[in-house]
């Protein structure tokens, strides 16, 4: 996966009267954690150019699961860290998050681990 959880959607609003999708948790040692740019509380505006506005939670989750190998996120940074609902900047600044930069090394490491395991099992 991409290494983070999301909340929100038209059917599971995280913030009252706001059906946006937000990052609720970044998984330690996951892809987003290793990249370091995404933060808990960030609003995700789009994934791979697909607008996330007015989606049900499960539909947003499905978009993330089927995002493919090269993933680009457009986000709106939270204003400041806090507990509960988050504040957001209104200036519309956002950034892309190309996850391939750290997914490739992760996949290489996983392939190497499988290869080592198979070699080890052949010796037994």
Task: Give residue-wise pLDDT tens across range 60-117.
Answer: 999 999 988 788 999 999 765 555 555 444 444 445 555 665 566 667 777 778 878 8
pLDDT of residue 78: 78
Here the contacts of 105-109 (C-beta below 8 Å, separation 24 or greater) are: 106/31, 106/34
What is the rounded radius of gyration, in angstroms, for the C-alpha atoms of the chain? 17
pLDDT of residue 83: 58
Number of Cβ within 10 Å of residue 116's Cβ equals 10
* 99 alpha carbon, distance to own chain's centre: 9
Q: Where in the chain are the domains?
A: 4-76
pLDDT tens digits along 23-71 = 999 999 888 999 899 999 999 999 999 999 999 999 999 999 998 878 8
CA atoms within 13 A on the CB side of 60: 26
pTM: 0.63
The domain made up of 4-76 is a member of CATH 3.40.30.10 = no
């Amino acid at each position: 996966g991409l290494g983070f959880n999301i909340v929100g959607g038209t059917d599971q609003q995280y913030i009252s009267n706001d059906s946006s999708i937000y990052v609720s948790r970044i998984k330690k040692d996951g892809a987003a954690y290793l990249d370091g740019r995404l933060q808990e509380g960030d609003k995700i505006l789009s994934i791979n150019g697909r607008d996330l506005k007015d989606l049900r939670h499960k539909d947003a989750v499905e978009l993330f699961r089927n995002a493919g190998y090269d993933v680009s996120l457009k986000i709106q940074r939270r204003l400041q860290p806090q507990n509960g609902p988050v504040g957001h900047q209104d200036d519309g600044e956002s950034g892309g998050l190309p996850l391939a930069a750290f997914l490739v090394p992760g996949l290489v490491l996983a392939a190497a681990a499988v290869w080592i395991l198979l070699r080890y099992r052949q010796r037994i």
